[in-house]
Every structure is written in C-alpha cells, then in structure tokens.
Amino acid sequence: MHIKVKTTQFDNRRKVIAGIILVSALLLLGRLFILQIADPSYKMSAQSNYLRHITDYPTRGLIYDRNGELLVYNEAHYDLMVIPGQVWEIDTLEFCNLLGIDIDTFESRLLQARRHSRFRASVFERQISKTTFAAFQEKLFRFQGFYVQPRTLRKYSYPIATHTFGYVGEAGPNIISNDPYYRPGDFIGISGLESAYEEILRGQKGIRIRMVDVLNRDIGPFQDGRYDTLAIAGQNLYTTLDHILQTYGEQLMKNKRGSIVAIEPSTGEILALVSSPSFDPGLLVGRQRTRNYRSLQNDPLKPLFNRALQAQYPPGSVFKIVNTLIALQDGIVTPSTSFSCSGIYHTRGISIRCRSHPSPVNAITGIQYSCNTYSSIIFQNTINQSGFNSIQEAFTHWRRHVMSFGIGRPFESDLSHELSGLVVSSDYYDRIYGPSGWRSQTILSLGIGQGELGVTPLQLANMTAAIANRGYYHTPHIVRAIGSPDNQNSDVQGFNHIDIDKEHFETMVKAMHLVVEEGTGNFSRIPGIAMGGKTGTVQNPHGENHSVFVAFAPVDNPQIAISVVVENAGYGSVWAAPIASLMIEKYLTGEVKRSWFEQRVLEASFLTPNP
C-alpha cells in the first residue's frame, strides 16, 4: 500500500512536468509562427541586414527625327537610397557635406524614410550628378544603411520641340494606386510623346538581390543571382519631325505668340509643330524641375500652353475656301458665277465691309481677293437652298461638310491633349433664338470664318493638306516608326475622304495659287516655287487682330502644307504669310536666299501682354 502511494505521486509529478514541457513547446511554436508567418517584420529585419533589393531601371527609349537625327537621349544620374533600420552611428556632418545638405534636412528625410518603412529602401536624395556621385562613392562604405541606385534622366540634342516631346516626372499617388507597375519614386511620361508612348518608351524594370556585409559593402549576388530579373530597355521612337525645319520655325516665332504646323500632305506626317513662346525642354529635367515648372506656370506669356494643338481661333478668311467648296458641290454657284462688290454687303440690317478689289468676283477671284461680299452671298444661299425642310436641316448639312475637313473634332492619333475645335450644332442656335427665331442672316458671320467657329492650328494645316491632295487627307501624326525605322507605326495612319468632287478642289487650288501670284499674298511669293495660299485676319475683340496664313507647295506636287498663326499681329498678308513662305523655302530648297525678308521676320516682336 505504501509503494502504491509513492507510484501515484510519481506519476502525477511526471504528468505535471510533461504538461509544462508541452505548454512551453506550444508557446515556442506559437511564437515562431507569429515571428515567421503572422508578423514578417522580424524576418524582413534580419534579411535586410544582409540582403539588398536593387531595382534596375530600364533605359528609356530614344527619340529620333525623320532623318535619323537623335533628338532625345539619356544621361546617367544616381538616387541615394536608405534603409533606416540599418543606419547606425554615421558621421552625419561628413555625410551632409558630401551631399551639400544641412543637418536639419538630413534628420527630416531620415524620419520620413522611417515612417515609410524601417526595413524597406526609399529614396533619400534624388538625381545625384555624376560628379557628386564620384566623390560620394569613395566613402559610401562609411555610411551603413545607404547605397546608390543608378537612374537615367532625359537629355536633348537641341532645345526644340518642347511641347512635342513633353516631359517625364515622378508618378503620383493616383497613378501608383491604379497601376501596379509603378512604385514611389518611379518616373512616368507626363505630357507629349513621353506620355502618349509611355508603355513603349519605359521598358520593363528588373531586380537584383545583393548580399552586403556589416560595413554595407556589396559582397555578391544572393544565391548566384537565381532570383534576379533583367531590365528590358524601352523601344525607340522615330518621329516625323524635321529637326532643321522645327529649329527654323522656332527661330522665326521668337518674340511672337502663336504657332506653326507643317504637314506632308501625301502621308499626314507632321514636319514641324511649333508653339510660341516655348522654353528649353531641359528645364523640366532633374532636381530643379519642380521649381522651373512653377516658374513657367506663373509666366504671363504661358509658355506651357501648346498653341499648335490647344489654341482655338475663329479661322477668319481662310475659311472662305471651305464655304466656297461647299457651295460649288451643292450647285449654289459654278466657278464662273459672279457677284458685284461695292465694298460693303447689306442684308436685312446687317452690313459686312470688304476690302477694295476688282469687281465682279467669282469662285476664283473671290478667294484671290478675299471678297467678303462673295463669301457672304454664297454662304447665305447655301443655308437658304431648297430641298431642306428647315433651316436646321440645311445647317446640319453644311456642318457635316465642314467637319469632314477634320474641323470640330480631335484626330485622336498620337498627339497628346489635342482639342477638338468648335463647330456648333443647330441645337445651339435653337437654345439661343428658339427653333423658329434664327435665319441665315443670324449666322452670316460664319460665311467669313467668324462667329461660332473655333479651329486649332493643326486643323488649319490639315485642311490645307486636304486641299493640296484635291479631296482627302491622311490622319496627322508625329511618330513614323517604333523600335526600328522600318517598323511603321500603322496605328495612327488613317485615310479620310471629303465628299466634295475633285474638280472643285482643282478650282480652289487655282484660286489659292492666284492669291500668292497676284492676290492678297503676293508679297510672300517664292522665286521658282509655285505656292498656293490664303490669307486671313482674325478679329480679336480684346486687342489687335490675329495674323493667319495657310499654304502648300509645290502646287502640282505638294510636299508641304502649312498653317501659321501670329497673335495680335494684324493682317495675315503682313506677318503670317512671310513666315509660311520662309518655312516652305527652307524645307524645299534647304536654304533661304531672301535674307532681307528673313531678317524682317526675325526682328519682329509682338509679345505684348496677353489681353
């Protein structure tokens, strides 16, 4: 009996000890589960002490002009990265002196990095130059927790085509949250070609996992690079721009507010896209980008505004070509139908003045001398023609013809932030005057390109290309090929037919040739080159009128179609026409022989405060 009691006591003690061991084991296992699975921060902390994940940013694609001239390339810069959990007892003063920052900036940035993550790398100092990097690299081993990550920034062969190229900036929170490719500190195309072709230009990021020792020195790849991925470089863009013509256009527009758009009619390729005032694209690269952008944004001359694609003006007298073509197509007039012009056109209390010129005028001389009377009559007769049940139907018919020229809608090719222009519908007038409250006289200003019309300079150039082609146009675009010069960019190429007979376009081509030879644009004739053009003076209620001119050349084999707008410069024949003439001469011959003519334009300035 005594032995049995002792055995029972021993068994109980053994069970208690076993229970304690079991509970302790369960606690340890639970803790291991928390540390390794539920809460990976300890694992991350440990790995961060010997592993460094380095993002390999791909080389951004290069940008060339139509002749293979390199326009946009890359230059190496460096981001200084920090893992806050590894920063111990560094010489802060020496560190700050090397980077050119103060102690307060150092502490503020380190605190911000800690808030982001103690164990993940974040950018401490962006875009260190090669010179600063060279001095810093020699002493980098002294600053545990810091390492350098290579990056590239855009560089420009010429300070031109700023609005066309656009710029690259840091991806914002909205982009990062909506696109898993981007991480804080990544860069993305913000505007222009950089934005339109972002996915093509950016390439694909790679990753390298490196081992480091306690002194922050790289000791080789982790597991022989088994988990590394290669960066894939972005593809190159081969644009349609002629960099010589673009440069010349920007020189001609210096000290002027306006635009030049030049198109190759046979392809729709944009040869030059000038918006003035402009700025050096290098200003929006590097550490000073934010400050420079703010300065440009506050500039009263609005250099950030792309006038070639976003400015919308009444077309003025250049629109008389479109109205005449519509009237010819509808049988309102024939090429020989003539009207007398006394210098003023009266209709039901409305008077429209006209410049002095020979009378009577027809479809050809009406354009040659830019007759307001002729244009007003044929527009009024177009809206009043029989065969329609209402003025709304007649107006809609006219509007459809106008929009077939690419006016009143965006081309939606590869041109970023392009505006649509304005061709109002009949509903607009119904709302203002009531369905029965308006007549052709109410909207008569449309006959001379004023009133409720808005066109962009790109649309004016495209309209001119359609006339040069005698009734069709290719969608305007700015990238010819992607990846290699032979890989044609078919996504932006489209053919558009205008529903007006070719014979009527031939009539307008003849009229536009006479504009330059013996009409309102004869001051800008080019010796040895047959050019067709049309002058325009756009009314500006807030100041001096805008000078407008459209042209193409040679007449029988058009190689360039162009629009020029010079704001607040007066008559189209005085300033816009000479600029177009010089651009055409430069493109077709490679040189300008009329030095006095060129000098007159280069010295002109119209940069008065914007009304």
pLDDT above 70 as % of the chain: 91
- For each of the domains in the chain, give its residue range(s) and CATH number, in order of start: 52-239 (3.90.1310.10), 243-480+487-603 (3.40.710.10)
Q: Which residues contact 127 (CB under 8 A, 6 or more apart)?
A: 77, 78, 79, 151, 153, 286, 287
| 3 state SS of 154 | strand
Token readout for 129 is 């130059």
| pLDDT at residue number 295 | 94
Comparison of pLDDT for 129 and 386, the residue scoring more: 386
Checking phi first, is residue 59 left (phi over 0); if not, alpha (psi -120 to 50) or beta?
beta
Residue 1 has pLDDT above 50, yes or no: no
Q: Give the model confidence (pLDDT) of 320-367 as tens digits.
A: 999 999 999 999 999 999 999 988 888 877 888 998 899 999 999 999
Confidence of residue 61 (pLDDT cuts 50, 70, 90): very high
Q: Give the model confidence (pLDDT) of 65-86 as tens digits.
A: 999 999 999 988 888 888 888 8
Q: Give the model confidence (pLDDT) of 138-162 as tens digits.
A: 888 888 888 888 888 899 999 999 9
The b-or-e profile of 190-228 (16+ CB within 10 A means b, else e) is bbbbbbbbbebbbbebeebbbebeeebeeeeebeeeeeb
Token readout for 271 is 């040869």
Instruction: Identify the top-confidence range among 19-28, 217-226, 411-420, 421-430.
Output: 421-430
Q: Give the model confidence (pLDDT) of 541-585 as tens digits.
A: 778 899 999 999 999 999 999 999 999 999 999 999 999 999 999
Amino acid at 178: N
Q: Give the model confidence (pLDDT) of 493-502 as tens digits.
A: 889 999 999 9
Q: Which residues contact 224 (CB under 8 A, 6 or more apart)?
A: none
Residues in the chain: 611
Max CA separation in the chain (angstroms): 145
